[in-house]
Amino acid sequence: MPITVRIPTPLRKITGDKAEISATGHSVMEIVDAVGKTYPELAVRLKDEKGGLRRYVNFFLNDEDIRDLKGAETPVKDGDTLSIMPAIAGG
Amino acid sequence: MTATVRLARALYETILRDGEKAAPREACGFLFGAPDGPIAEAVPIRNAAEEMRAESPGEFQRSAETGYVMDPKEQLRALRAADEKGFTVRGVYHSHVEVGAYFSAEDRTRALFDGEPMFPDAVWVVADIRQKRGVGAKAFAWNPSGREFVEIALEII
Q: Do A10 and B49 touch (CB under 8 A)?
A: no
For residue A55, the model assigns a pLDDT of 84
Task: Note the pTM of the prediction, 2 decimals.
Answer: 0.89
User: Percent of chain A scored above 70 by pLDDT?
Assistant: 99
In the predicted structure, residue B105 carries a pLDDT above the cut 90 = yes
User: Percent of chain A scored above 90 by pLDDT?
Assistant: 79
d(CA B117, CA B149): 9
Residues A90, B68 contacting (CB under 8 angstroms): yes
pLDDT tens-digit profile of A30-59? 999 999 999 999 998 999 888 999 888 999
Q: If phi over 0 gives left and psi between -120 and 50 gives alpha, with beta otherwise, what is residue B147? A: left
Q: Phi, psi (5° rounding) for residue A10? A: -65, -20
Over range B39-47, report the average pLDDT. Answer: 98
d(CA B23, CA A43): 38
The answer for residues whose C-beta is within 8 angstroms of residue B137's C-beta and 6 or more apart is B12, B15, B16, B93, B101, B125, B126, B127, B128, B154
d(CA B12, CA A90): 20
In the predicted structure, residue B1 carries a pLDDT above the cut 90 = no
Would an 8 Å CB–CB cutoff place A9 in contact with chain B? yes
To the nearest whole Å, the CA of B99 is away from the closest chain A CA by 11
Over range B88-97, report the average pLDDT. Answer: 97
In the predicted structure, residue A1 carries a pLDDT above the cut 70 = no
Q: Do B68 and A90 touch (CB under 8 A)?
A: yes
Would an 8 Å CB–CB cutoff place B88 in contact with chain A? no
Q: Do A88 and B92 touch (CB under 8 A)?
A: yes
Question: If 0-12 CB within 10 Å is exposed, 13-18 middle and 19+ buried, where does residue A27 land?
Answer: middle
Would an 8 Å CB–CB cutoff place B84 in contact with chain A? no
Q: Predicted confidence band at A84 (pLDDT cuts at 50, 70, 90)?
A: very high
3-state SS, B21-90, equals: HHCCCCCEEEEEECCCCCCCEEEEECECHHHHHHHCCCCCCCCCCCCEEECHHHHHHHHHHHHHCCCEEE
Over range B30-45, report the average pLDDT. Answer: 96
Pairing of strands A81-86, A57-61: antiparallel
d(CA B26, CA B78): 19
For residue B3, the model assigns a pLDDT of 87
Q: Do B60 and A58 touch (CB under 8 A)?
A: no
Would an 8 Å CB–CB cutoff place B39 in contact with chain A? no
Q: B91-107: b or e for each residue (b if 16 or more CB lie within 10 Å)?
A: bbbbbbbeeebebbebb
Q: B121-143: b or e for each residue (b if 16 or more CB lie within 10 Å)?
A: bbbbbbbbbeeeebeebbbbbbe
For B:114-143, CB contacts with A below 8 A are: 114-120
To the nearest whole Å, the CA of A63 is away from the closest chain B CA by 8
Would an 8 Å CB–CB cutoff place A20 in contact with chain B? no
The answer for residues whose C-beta is within 8 angstroms of residue B99's C-beta and 6 or more apart is none
Q: Predicted confidence band at B24 (pLDDT cuts at 50, 70, 90)?
A: very high
What number is the ipTM of this complex?
A: 0.92
User: Percent of chain B scored above 70 by pLDDT?
Assistant: 99
In the predicted structure, residue A71 carries a pLDDT above the cut 80 = yes
Nearest-Cα residue of chain B relative to residue A58: B72
d(CA B70, CA B59): 14
